[in-house]
Copies of this chain bind each other. A is one copy, B any other.
Amino acid sequence: MANSEFEYTRKFEQSDTLPPGNWIVVRIDGRGFSKFTKRYSFAKPNDKRAIDLMNAAAVETMRGLVDIAIAYGQSDEYSFVFHEDTNLFERRAYKLVTTVVSTFSVQYAIQWSKFFPDQPLTEPFPTFDGRPVLYPKVKFLRDYLSWRQADCHINNLYNTTFWAMVQKGGQSPTDAELELKGTLSADKNEILFSRFGINYNNEPEVFKKGTVVYRDLSCAEISADVSVDVNKPQSRSQADKERKKKQKASLVTEHVDIIKDTFWDQRPWILAGKGGRKLVE
């Protein structure tokens, strides 16, 4: 029973190395979550416990993967952004994506009982799928994140209005849906305010903006190391030092605007290259 006789089947594996110089977004989504959220009676329009659990899982996912520069989540989705200069797993796509998916899924399952102490998980358990998307420039990456945050706002305004109409206004879901069809943001704001006394602007930021997770390197001065020759690749010891800095850095979750420049201007280390290098663009 020689091993070599069958080993040729290895040749059917295809290369999946992602090209350099691209930001790698791994977006994960809850599988069948509309059913799942009903089974566990998630609060509508937003269940704070569920969002806190998503965020807790995301923080732990980032902790072990220091090449993730930033993550953004809303509803049952999370986008993890590997820095364009990462060489983790030699940029092999399936390794990157499945490692994120597996880590996040396990964190979600294990931390569940912390956030839903009265509702033990039963089969079928919650799971997530994921996929990679490459962005060749910072502008496209930021526009991608803006897209997700804009999507969060649009959905949340809709859901907040819809559930107010149903829960407080006593309308049937079908009625509410019909009435909202084709309405603009202003219309929904008006419905919320005039019928239910809700000022949408005062809704919790976590619902309106979603959640961004990043490392607080404001004190690490990674981007201030002027002695660095940015044209040379980082040495091994420099890379190790930086890795440790990042591992020690605390992970921050915020519910703020990431569409405008302010967020990025104030946290320049998030997108900075290795050793605080300026990006090639």
Contacts and interface: CB of A to CB of B under 8 A. Distances in A.
Interface in A105-124: 105-110, 121, 123-124
Contacts of A132: 94
15 contacts: A6-B146, A8-B143, A9-B140, A9-B143, A12-B140, A22-B136, A31-B99, A95-B131, A97-B98, A98-B101, A98-B129, A106-B106, A106-B125, A109-B109, A110-B125
Given A9-B135, A101-B101, 4 more contacts: A3-B150, A5-B150, A11-B19, A94-B129
A7 B125 contact: no
A261 to B, nearest CB: 15
**The 6 residue pairs across chains A and B that have the minimum distance between CB atoms:** A136-B136, A6-B147, A15-B15, A102-B127, A281-B281, A9-B144
Nearest to A3: B150
A252 interface: no
A221 B15 CA distance: 39
A26 to B, nearest CB: 10
Contacts of A1: 150, 153, 259
A126 B99 CA distance: 11
A137 B64 contact: no
A273 to B, nearest CB: 12
A141 B134 CA distance: 18
A179 interface: no
Interface string A1-35: 11101111111111111011110000010010000
Interface of A: 1-3, 5-17, 19-22, 28, 31, 60, 64, 94-95, 97-99, 101-103, 105-110, 121, 123-137, 139-140, 143-144, 146-147, 150-151, 153-154, 259, 280-281
A15 to B, nearest CB: 4
B15 A147 contact: no
Nearest to A11: B20
A55 B208 CA distance: 43
B106 A126 contact: yes
A20 B22 CA distance: 12
Nearest to A13: B133
Contacts of A98: 28, 97-98, 101, 128-131
